[in-house]
Structure 1
Amino acid sequence: MDEEVAVVTLNRPAKRNAIDEATLAALDAVFSALPREARAVVLTGAGPHFCAGLDLKEHHDKERTAVDFMRVCQRWHSTFDKIQYGGIPVVAALHGAVVGGGLELAAATHVRVADPSTYFALPEGQKGIFTGGGATVRVARIITPGRMVEMMLTGRVLDARAGKGLGLAHEIAAPGESLRAAMVLAKRVAKNAALSNYAMVTSISRIADMSATDGMFAESLMAAVVQTGGEVQTRLGAFVDKSLAKVTPEQVAG
């Protein structure tokens, strides 16, 4: 923990942090029981890569029926749901490979900071497999389904700048600085009202699944919960008496 920010690190650098069943179980356990004092999380990978995706050796060595593998995919889905919808903002510090299942994992986070070394790809077509960790929902919503199909068909690899242009990263840090930059952002996020953060990370993606009428109703319900919470009066009072800084042009990000 660092100032209410929990740091979660994928730690299989010799395997480019490829996700095997043990790693998936560890991620599930961590995001099922984050420390109560954690107001934000930074997710990163040890070594030169964030995550190169599914551990293909384990996949190759294990005999699975179609039903077996469907259950594996559903474990990925439920684990990544805990990241996306767990109520605590998650900032990803990306570097090196963010490929296949690694891109599916990154897409479940809320803010993504890339190192210039970062590259994105969905090489499943070349390997004779198909995405199973949620890319058809999470990644396709970020870059559009058509662009995801193109990436998979062609095996196109996107560098950090191209990935940022599509929304796969929200900013690019200086070389070697993605973890530091992610920590700065996570500490800023941790200073927000906890209930506001919870509403943002649990509601917006779900509302995007709804019809316009249902979405606006759900938005009003969440606004009613947040805007009548105990912390809101203190923060709004600070804004009214001018002790809370207003948004200004000087705050514009580069």
Structure 2
Amino acid sequence: MSTTSPDLSVELTGQNKDIAVVRLTRPAKRNALSDGLILAIRDAFQSFADSVRVAVIDGEGEHFCAGLDLSELKERDAGQGVHHSRMWHGALDAVQFGPVPVIAALHGAVVGGGLELASAAHIRVADDTTFFALPEGTRGIFVGGGGSVRIPKLIGAARMTDMMLTGRVYNAADGERLGLAQYLVPGGTALDKALELATRIATNAPLTNYALTHVLPRIAEQPADHGFMSEALMAAIAQSAPEAKARVRDFLAGKAGTKVKKA
């Protein structure tokens, strides 16, 4: 696979070419997000090959992503500002609600728009060089890429408010403890861990993966009685799939391992 942007690469890997590694390739700019790069991310996540079952987002160089490319920041009237923000929303929605689960391999700066991008992934792996920050508050601007919705779901509104009011920076260990990442690994190994997880996830039934990335977040937003009904409907749909039936038959026949894999 290829993209039309020099700032983004897409590589298929895995035994069956079932893992797409989407890499930001602006290391000289600490992978800062230009409008062109945001649109390239959107296009990549909307055009995966049929073989792809999991995607990994990575950043080339010393940093995952240092946020918005401030060299592109320009004056906009209110209407233009709304449309610009909505363009980001559409791109990051393509990450969160695209066809496959997404793992972010984090290292170095995960700042501003970089944290917004990471928060659109379903799993975040941080190595011990990672640091998290939201400097928009101290720069007189506000998050515009969906961070005000996604990040409080990870760490709570009070902590996000503190980060933006004070410029507070969290290191990798504190970020993992608070929920900005689910895994903490030694420096230089985030991508390896992300690929290990992706290889495992790629063996799941695609419909179950889809339910976990599309339905579960919506159930979490619903009143309990609505959530229970959504759960019942999704459970019925998932278990009725031919692949699910075959997996259950194999399990009952002793053809599938029962050992739980360690994280």
TM-score bracket for this pair, using the shorter chain length? over 0.9
1:24 aligns with 2:38: yes
Distance 2:123 2:112 in 1: 19
Larger RCO (CA under 8 A, 6+ residues apart): 1
Local SS of the residue matching 1:50:
coil
CA apart distance, 1:173? 1.7
Distance 2:96 2:104 in 1: 12
1:185 aligns with 2:197: yes
The partner residue of 1:2 within 2, 5, 13 is 13
TM-score for the superposition, normalised by structure 2: 0.92
Distance 1:247 1:142 in 2: 30
Distance 2:31 2:139 in 1: 18
TM-score for the superposition, normalised by structure 1: 0.95
The partner residue of 1:239 within 226, 233, 251 is 251
CA apart distance, 1:233? 1.1
Local SS of the residue matching 1:114:
strand
Local SS of the residue matching 1:36:
coil
1:48 aligns with 2:77: no
Local SS of the residue matching 1:131:
coil
Distance 2:215 2:99 in 1: 9
- Note if contact 1:87-1:202 (Cα within 8 Å) is conserved in structure 2: no
Name the residue aligned to 1:102. Answer: 114
1:125 aligns with 2:137: yes
Question: Which letter does structure 2 place at the counterpart of 1:103?
Answer: L
Distance 2:259 2:225 in 1: 30
- Note if contact 1:92-1:111 (Cα within 8 Å) is conserved in structure 2: yes
- Note if contact 1:44-1:50 (Cα within 8 Å) is conserved in structure 2: yes
Name the residue aligned to 2:7. Answer: none
* Superposed CA RMSD: 1.1
Local SS of the residue matching 1:133:
coil
Name the residue aligned to 1:218. Answer: 230
Local SS of the residue matching 2:196:
helix
1:64 aligns with 2:53: no
- Note if contact 1:120-1:163 (Cα within 8 Å) is conserved in structure 2: yes
Local SS of the residue matching 2:58:
strand
1:15 aligns with 2:29: yes
Distance 2:93 2:237 in 1: 22
Distance 2:199 2:166 in 1: 39
- Note if contact 1:50-1:98 (Cα within 8 Å) is conserved in structure 2: yes
Gaps of 5+ in 2: 1-11
Distance 2:164 2:75 in 1: 25
CA apart distance, 1:63? 3.0
Name the residue aligned to 1:78. Answer: 90
Distance 1:73 1:83 in 2: 16
Flag as ranges the 4+ runs of structure 1 deviating above 2 A.
Answer: none
Local SS of the residue matching 1:42:
strand
Name the residue aligned to 1:39. Answer: 53
Number of matched pairs: 249
Local SS of the residue matching 2:255:
coil
CA apart distance, 1:87? 2.9
The partner residue of 2:187 within 175, 182, 190 is 175
The percent of aligned pairs where both chains have the same amino acid is 47
